[in-house]
Amino acid sequence: MLLHIIYLIAITAEAVTGSLSAGKQRMDLFGVTTIACVTALGGGTVRDVILGHYPLGWVKHPEYLYYTICAALVTTFIARWLHYLKTIFLILDSLGLVAFTLIGCTIAREINCPTIIVLVAGMLTGVSGGVLRDVLCNQVPLVFQKELYASVSLCTGIAYLALLHFQINDSTATLICLCSGFLLRLLAIKYSWQIPTFSYDDNAH
């Protein structure tokens, strides 16, 4: 239940980031809503297509589509004031990342995937919406270059599986991971934590 509410907040937050990205490319309203839907719902779609888990979430619950479309259209009106809300927005996005991850892990566990696939499913759900957004906006995906993001998703997934392994019940584990993953992400933003970068320049290659 809690996870579901946070999921709705999360897809809204992701829809906003998608709209703003589309706005930077001066897309029309169709482009804006499409990028918003891809950003908000793309992570779950990639996960479900890879796991063969049909019907997709938003096909079964089309109301998710309505939320994201509304969020996208509202964003185009309020964009000029959004930088005042930047902190709230980063907080929602961080909550979303963690919530998406936990939902992805839960679904992969339900269909009995091996442990590493559960972690991958969590990360796919958490980050691939943003990757698709950046590909469609013709940019190198941000998530591959900037501060701790996918790593937060991975840590959240590992913590969740560890807690379940030690017989903690599912709701408690979810709540603990939600809070600690969220905190980790906020700290990563505040202190600009990064994982090491690999730079390779051999032009001869």
Residues of this chain, 29-68, that bind its own copies according to CB under 8 A: 29-32, 34-35, 45, 49-52, 54-56, 59, 62, 65-66
Encoded tokens for 155: 């840590």
Residues 6+ apart with CB under 8 A from 138: 25
Count of other CB atoms within 10 angstroms of residue 25? 13
Q: Does 70 bind its own copies (CB under 8 A)?
A: no
For its own copies, which is the closer residue by CB, 3 or 89? 89
Q: Does 195 bind its own copies (CB under 8 A)?
A: yes
Q: Which stretch in 3-11, 165-173, 176-184, 194-202 sits in contact with its own copies by CB under 8 A?
A: 194-202
Binding to its own copies by CB under 8 A, coded x per residue (else -) over 131-170, reads x---xxxxxxx-xxxx--xxx--x----------------
Residues 99, 51, 32, 8: what is their CA dihedral angle, to the nearest 10 degrees?
-30
In the list 8, 74, 82, 159, the residue contacting its own copies (rule: CB under 8 A) is 82
CA separation for the pair 132, 195 (Å, rounded): 22
Of 11, 20, 101, 137, the residue nearest 63 (C-alpha) = 11
In the list 87, 167, 192, 196, the residue contacting its own copies (rule: CB under 8 A) is 196
